[in-house]
Structure 1
Amino acid sequence: MTDVLIVIPARYASTRYPGKPLVELTGAGGESKSLIRRSWDAAMSVDIEADVVVATDDDRIKDHAERFGAKVVMTAESCRNGTERCADVLGRIDHQPGIVVNLQGDAPLTPAWFISDLVAGLEANPDAAVATPVLRTDADALRGFKEDRKNDRVGGTTAVFDQTGRALYFSKEVLPYTGRDFAEGEENPVFHHVGVYAYRPDALSRYAQLPEGRLEKWEGLEQLRFMEHGLHVQCVEVEARGRAFWELNNPVDVARIEAILSAQGLD
């Protein structure tokens, strides 16, 4: 079995939402937990054997995470995104894993099977440097994407990939262009990129040495650096199984996520 390390990158100084990892989210039972705590709980529920660490450069996040029992690795302030922070972790631990999973700290609704399916997807594609999950949008999710763009909010990311699943592009715009809405239950071609990654350690170490790509900079999407430098990113389609998925990108997403927690009976 491949040795897996799950890293939860978390930074306090977010441009769009400072202090985001410590934002409190209320679950179905009325209990309030921080975003980083909920992300940690999601990582701990994965049904594969894995070590889990929080990676941060902020003492407030470190202290908070250690209080609820998380392992913490302090990383450099110079890390510009979660992938660079995961790469930094590799240089600060004694044991080198076979696969590193980046469960971003703003995705507390990530179902456990997304991660196990992702690891299996990377193992099944030996030419891939990175694997990442994609989820076909339903009518509600697609409306949410379009509503965010209409109101000039940075919402979810979409993914376009070839017939083998190799990524062609990721964007904060709604791609591909469809020109129309879709009815409930009607299959549509827009896939939500789920912000989780599984890396081979050599690709992760190489990433940290590569210059920021032009598309990466314009879109603000770290995974594009791999593609701009010719590395294979594999999209792994996952199934929602009735679970709603949304990331916390903006303050308005707090209410969205709390509503999902309540509706799905998640404490």
Structure 2
Amino acid sequence: MITVIIPARYASSRYPGKPLAELDIGGGVRRSLIELTWRAALEVPEADAVYVATDDDGIAEAARGFGAEVIMTSGSCRNGTERCADALERAGLAPEIVVNLQGDAPLTPPWFLSALIAAMRADPTLDAATPVLRCEPATLALLQEDRRAGRVGGTTAVFDRAGRGLYFSKEVIPFVEGRAFSAGEVPVFHHVGVYAYRPETLRRYQDWPEGPLERLEGLEQLRFLENGARMQCVEVDSRGRVFWELNNPQDVARIEAVLKEQRT
């Protein structure tokens, strides 16, 4: 059984109330970020169940209003992975694989999640898996523009030849400033904020203390690396679709433009 959990919290240092932010998707239709993400999860063919996990009554009410199943979680969860682990325990779920689709990524194509599920099923030694997307020159320029402006536009990943994650950062890594690349040659990989885990790995995650790298970067996946867990980076293909997470209020217009284009 494959269970998709969408962790959502109201508090956010960069964008308070983000899950309930409404986006204009064209045709006079407006939907909240959390509903758009839930709809994206429903498109994953392997998903047997989809839940919204939150500690906020307002988000829970909104989610139930558009038809989602909700698991209420502890307010002490510090990140989405902890919230997924808490939801699993509170709801008494025992799936084969848990997929964490974070509530700010409505542009995530279903085949990204399918690729993670396939990787986890193919290799039982993997503790967790996450997708990475080779940047196009335009995407790299957006990441660099955000960093120069003091914004975090996205997370990048570096990994070994077997795909095992070595590091994730809110900086643009590796360092390529001032270099020009053609399409398909950019050596920077955009980390897509989606994870697949074994349930036992989630249970261990709750017991691990927050490490210094996780604390400095504010990236939950670094806890896996700091404790020697195998986090597999699965390269995915955008198939021409634009991927961007809603990290800052400035990202709303970018995502709305893509959603409107997808409706045409």
C-alpha deviation, 1:70, in angstroms:
0.3
Unaligned runs of 5+ in 1: none
Q: Could you tell me which of 190, 193, 198 is aligned with 1:192? A: 190
Partner of 1:147: 145
**Distance in 1, Cα, partners of 2:17 & 2:8:** 10
Partner of 1:112: 110
Give the match's secondary structure for 2:91.
Answer: coil
Q: Which amino acid aligns with 2:19?
A: P
Give the match's secondary structure for 1:206.
Answer: helix
Give the match's secondary structure for 1:185.
Answer: coil
Q: Which amino acid aligns with 2:71?
A: V
C-alpha deviation, 1:94, in angstroms:
3.1
**Distance in 2, Cα, partners of 1:46 & 1:29:** 25
Where in structure 2 are the equivalents of 1:1-267 lying within 5 Å?
3-183=1-181, 185-265=183-263
Give the match's secondary structure for 1:92.
Answer: helix
Give the match's secondary structure for 1:91.
Answer: helix
C-alpha deviation, 1:33, in angstroms:
0.2
How many positions carry a matched residue from both structures?
Answer: 264
Give the match's secondary structure for 1:250.
Answer: coil
Root-mean-square deviation (CA, aligned residues, Å) is 1.1
Q: Which amino acid aligns with 2:73?
A: T
C-alpha deviation, 1:118, in angstroms:
0.9
Structure 1 runs of 4+ aligned residues shifted over 6 Å read none
**Distance in 1, Cα, partners of 2:66 & 2:177:** 47
**Distance in 2, Cα, partners of 1:218 & 1:95:** 32
Unaligned runs of 5+ in 2: none
Give the match's secondary structure for 2:34.
Answer: helix
Deviations 1:78-120 (A, max 9, x none): 0000000000011112331010000000000000110111111
Deviations 1:158-200 (A, max 9, x none): 0000000000000000011123343552511100000000000
